[in-house]
Amino acid sequence: MWGIPHNTPMVRISASERSATRQRLIDAGKVEFAARGLAGARFDEIALAAGHAKGTIYNYFDSKEALFFTIVKDWCTQLVAGFVTANGASAREQLLEIARLDVEIARKDLDLARVVINQLPGLVGDHRVGVETAIGPGIDLLTAVIVAGQERGEVLAGQSARTLARLFLNVLSAIEQEALASDSELGLDDVLPLVDGCFLRGLVQ
């Protein structure tokens, strides 16, 4: 009985292996969800693309919905974690920074962007709860920025900050959607100018 600490975690794969498998599943999920939507996505395909058996997904995610919302939450986490505001930045500058981050994320991971931008609006019924939960932190961040902007008089005060936050996200997504369309002449580079020139010009100041 000497020598063997029996209370060490008896893992069979290392944390990095587990994490890698999980990431492969997530990556494959992004592709499939982007291509077929939540309802149309098939676990068979995701598992196959990830190089695993179908059952393996259930070692990492409870259900198809769980994998989907993990992906959406991942997007939201990146957005919130990446946001750093400079001292004395205006509401407009901060909103633009969020938009810039979002575009940056989309540029790195087009499938992720397609999932978030195209699929979320169409989710109805029970799935709405999952959507709201998953993107909640992003909405919270935007709301905080807008509240501060309203207090400084930079953002129009007639509407609640939360409503304006959701509106901002909706419109940002709408512009990105066009930019991501395969037959569009717009590219991701055009998103920020459009957000600033078209949308923020009316919302702030």
Question: Can you give the binding site for a copy of itself, defined by CB under 8 A?
Answer: 1, 3-12, 14, 34-37, 39-40, 53, 114, 117-119, 121-125, 159-160, 163, 166-167, 170-171, 173-175, 177-178, 181, 184-186, 190, 194, 197-199, 201-203
How many angstroms from the chain centroid is the CA of residue 112? 7
Q: Which is nearer to DNA, 15 or 86 (CB)?
A: 15
9: left (phi over 0), alpha (psi -120 to 50) or beta: beta
Mark 53-82 with x for binding to DNA (rule: CB under 7 A) and - for no binding.
xxxx-xxx--xxx-----------------
CA distances from 67 to 10, 70, 74, 171, 189 (A): 26, 5, 10, 26, 30
AA identity, residue 173: S
CB of 186 to a copy of itself, least distance (A): 6
Distance between CA atoms of residues 122 and 109, nearest Å: 21
24 or 92, CB closer to DNA?
24
Tell which one of 18, 73, 127, 162 touches DNA (CB under 7 A): 18
Please tell me the distance from the alpha carbon of residue 163 to that of residue 158, in angstroms, as a whole number: 11
Say if CB 188 and CB 176 are below 8 A apart: yes
Tell me: does residue 118 bind DNA (CB under 7 A): no
Residue with Cβ nearer a copy of itself (12 or 86): 12
Q: How far is the CB of 15 from DNA (least distance, A)?
A: 8
Q: Which residues pair with 204 in a beta bridge?
A: 155
Where on the chain is the footprint of DNA (CB under 7 A)? 5, 7-13, 17-18, 21, 40-44, 52-56, 58-60, 63-65
